[in-house]
Chain A
């Protein structure tokens, strides 16, 4: 047998060489030919820093979501692999904007999601809006989200959508709880000079107006600069006015300082209902016996009568799954973090063209699903790009050895059952 070895000719060498050089350019745009095209979802969350409590269940939720996404999601008869890229905002709005830009420009994500307080949600949504990437956010009252980003009612935003409750719901839930208590209607207000505090204390859109309308006298000494080392002036003003209720929106270290100083300076309110600081069992535990009887809004609990559209798990199953996996008590953001990916999955299934950001955005706008935190449907929003989930009020009470957040007022959302009665401090 005779084999002939052909010497490479100049022409042949050039042709092969050019083809080899050009190949990557053609291959790069060949996503459609791959076995499973990939949809990238960017996720920004405050894993570390003062807001870390909001994200403590991230690993558990993302792992469960990753399992349900493992088989891929169907869109227009084609199966897509979903890749979730999660980044830490370190509880810092500048850092949140930085990692969001990184996800959008570096990782080239198709959808970006974020959760937990205006400090995370707003910078991420702003980056998404500027770069025209579809964005879904949650876990931040809608007023700081909408007005904090200079949203214009009636116009809204192009690419960014949000689901959570609003200040009007928190006020209604708080009033519902206080009305049944029969205490003096003098309320002390503690509002920091940050996005949440300014929204809660805002004379027009915040607590002052509805509280006055309901016959409550709100003592608001003014915005303080967080973190603060001293609350003695606020305490003196509340004592002077005979406040029996204290409300506001604080970070846990400031509440710890305030609550210790209140005891030192002989100020003993009967109801203390604070947003943000009193959401987490770990904070309540660090306060020791002084944590019992404090109250807070309840966005989600194991007793909420909703279940996941992805896994079919009930609220209780999701919460207990987390406790079993981590050995830690359930927290409210778990439900919302799960719901965030329920919405993402729903949008990916329905979008007319996953290659087109505008098609994804219109799929988000047309969302109508029942999630583990309640119905999400942007057609029913109070304002553009926003839809609301139900909210009730609860109180931390001793249940055996541990503290449990009992739902004590539910007239704002009667389908969520109460699990206890309000006890005065």
Chain B
């Protein structure tokens, strides 16, 4: 029973990690951009949520109505204004620019919100639980997992059932030919980043409800996000969900053996998978 509990809690934790990773996976899949600032954008979303909830007294989940469009708009502007200029044959410039962006975001947040830890208060939702077959599962982790599945499903559906998704796949396959077919790839990249940051907004708010955050925690979130993407296979959205779950389960099972193993076990599983299958478990793109 204890092992089942560790397993189930790990799966639920994996939902949060999958949300961290979904945005990364999406933009890598569309434009081969590795966004080092992703973790800091998650924290930025959490702080935006904090500002909205303290200003209006809204429930943090309701604040998504404001934060999601805000982050999406920011994503589009960021891509068209900055990141599009760096995209090309070389993978290094966008990497360096997002690294710089990460430093700017951290210090900007530090300047505005100070380094004090903050938390989004969601009232009874934080402690509510459901008894399931002898296990007691938190409503918030369940909700997080459900949202993660829904978000991944939504992204997948967008990719394969809408004209926007067709544009995404077209520029992903061959930018120049897509451009010849009348697709404005700069605009499509902007939309992809907007979608990615909209997902980031959801991840940030859920992180803020689950635990405390401060401007410096972004880097740690980025690592879990990256690991989930790579375990699942680059560019594969369902794979990213699987990657998040594997990472979460590895952590809780590791902690079951000894709490000191919690973080380490996640990293070890990641390294093992990288060693055995360098392209991840379910790669969509041949490296």
Contact check, A52 vs B116: say whether CB atoms are below 8 A apart: yes
A/B interface sample: 23 pairs, CB < 8 A: A48-B116, A223-B259, A223-B260, A224-B262, A225-B259, A228-B262, A229-B16, A229-B251, A230-B9, A230-B251, A232-B9, A233-B6, A233-B259, A253-B117, A253-B119, A256-B212, A257-B212, A261-B138, A263-B126, A264-B138, A265-B136, A265-B138, A290-B127
Q: Given A230-B13, A236-B2, A260-B126, answer yes or no on A222-B121 (Cβ-Cβ < 8 Å).
A: no
**A42-59 vs B, Cβ < 8 Å mask (1 yes, 0 no):** 000000111011000000
In angstroms, Cα B260 to Cα A116, docked, is 25
**B124-161 vs A, Cβ < 8 Å mask (1 yes, 0 no):** 00111101000011111100000000000000000000
Contact check, B129 vs A234: say whether CB atoms are below 8 A apart: no
Instruction: Choose among B117, B123, B140 the residue that contacts A252 (Cβ–Cβ < 8 A).
Output: B117
Contact check, A221 vs B252: say whether CB atoms are below 8 A apart: no
Contact check, B123 vs A233: say whether CB atoms are below 8 A apart: no
Residues of A within 8 A of B (CB): 48-50, 52-53, 90-91, 193, 221-225, 227-230, 232-234, 236-237, 240, 252-253, 256-257, 260-261, 263-266, 286, 288, 290
Q: Given A236-B2, A253-B117, A265-B136, answer yes or no on A260-B214 (Cβ-Cβ < 8 Å).
A: no
Instruction: Choose among B16, B126, B138, B211 the residue that contacts A253 (Cβ–Cβ < 8 A).
Output: B211
Contact check, A91 vs B115: say whether CB atoms are below 8 A apart: yes
Contact check, B136 vs A222: say whether CB atoms are below 8 A apart: no
Instruction: Choose among B123, B129, B211, B260 the residue that contacts A193 (Cβ–Cβ < 8 A).
Output: B260
Contact check, A230 vs B262: say whether CB atoms are below 8 A apart: yes
Interface check B210, CB cutoff 8 A: yes
In angstroms, Cα B114 to Cα A52, docked, is 10
Contact check, A240 vs B260: say whether CB atoms are below 8 A apart: no
Closest CB in chain B relative to A232 CB, distance in Å: 4
Query: B residues within 8 A CB of A90?
Result: 115
Contact check, A225 vs B129: say whether CB atoms are below 8 A apart: no
In angstroms, Cα B257 to Cα A222, docked, is 10
Contact check, B259 vs A234: say whether CB atoms are below 8 A apart: yes
Interface check B101, CB cutoff 8 A: no
Query: A residues within 8 A CB of B248?
Result: 230
Task: Report B207-254 residues with CB < 8 Å from chain A CB.
Answer: 210-214, 216-217, 220, 248, 251-252
Contact check, A233 vs B252: say whether CB atoms are below 8 A apart: yes
Query: A residues within 8 A CB of B258?
Result: 221-222
Query: B residues within 8 A CB of A49?
Result: 115-116, 214, 216
Query: B residues within 8 A CB of A233?
Result: 2, 6, 9, 252, 255-256, 259
Q: What would 17 more interface pairs be, CB under 8 Å, given A223-B259, A225-B264, A253-B211? A: A50-B115, A222-B260, A224-B259, A225-B260, A227-B217, A228-B262, A229-B16, A230-B10, A230-B248, A230-B252, A230-B262, A237-B2, A253-B213, A260-B138, A264-B137, A265-B129, A265-B137
Contact check, B129 vs A286: say whether CB atoms are below 8 A apart: no
Instruction: Choose among B117, B126, B139, B255 the residue that contacts A230 (Cβ–Cβ < 8 A).
Output: B255
Query: B residues within 8 A CB of A230?
Result: 9-10, 13, 248, 251-252, 255, 262
Contact check, B210 vs A48: say whether CB atoms are below 8 A apart: no
In angstroms, Cα B120 to Cα A88, docked, is 27
Closest CB in chain A relative to B18 CB, distance in Å: 13
Interface check B5, CB cutoff 8 A: yes
Q: Given A260-B127, A290-B127, answer yes or no on A227-B255 (Cβ-Cβ < 8 Å).
A: no
In angstroms, Cα B5 to Cα A236, docked, is 8
In angstroms, Cα B114 to Cα A225, docked, is 24
Contact check, B255 vs A263: say whether CB atoms are below 8 A apart: no
Interface check B263, CB cutoff 8 A: yes
Closest CB in chain A relative to B167 CB, distance in Å: 36
Contact check, A264 vs B140: say whether CB atoms are below 8 A apart: yes
Query: A residues within 8 A CB of B114?
Result: 48, 52
Closest CB in chain B relative to A338 CB, distance in Å: 23
- Residue on B nearest A264 in the bound complex, by CB: B138
Contact check, B2 vs A253: say whether CB atoms are below 8 A apart: no
Q: Given A193-B260, A222-B258, A236-B6, answer yes or no on A264-B16 (Cβ-Cβ < 8 Å).
A: no
Contact check, B128 vs A264: say whether CB atoms are below 8 A apart: yes
Closest CB in chain B relative to A55 CB, distance in Å: 11
Closest CB in chain B relative to A341 CB, distance in Å: 25
- Residue on B nearest A90 in the bound complex, by CB: B115
Contact check, A286 vs B211: say whether CB atoms are below 8 A apart: no
Q: Given A232-B5, A260-B140, answer yes or no on A52-B115 (Cβ-Cβ < 8 Å).
A: yes
Contact check, B214 vs A50: say whether CB atoms are below 8 A apart: yes
- Residue on B nearest A265 in the bound complex, by CB: B136
Closest CB in chain A relative to B171 CB, distance in Å: 35
Residue of A229, A234, A237, A288 with most chain B CB atoms under a 10 A cut-off: A229
Closest CB in chain A relative to B44 CB, distance in Å: 18
In angstroms, Cα B216 to Cα A253, docked, is 13
Query: A residues within 8 A CB of B140?
Result: 260, 264
In angstroms, Cα B124 to Cα A290, docked, is 10
In angstroms, Cα B129 to Cα A265, docked, is 7
Contact check, A264 vs B129: say whether CB atoms are below 8 A apart: yes
Contact check, A232 vs B6: say whether CB atoms are below 8 A apart: yes
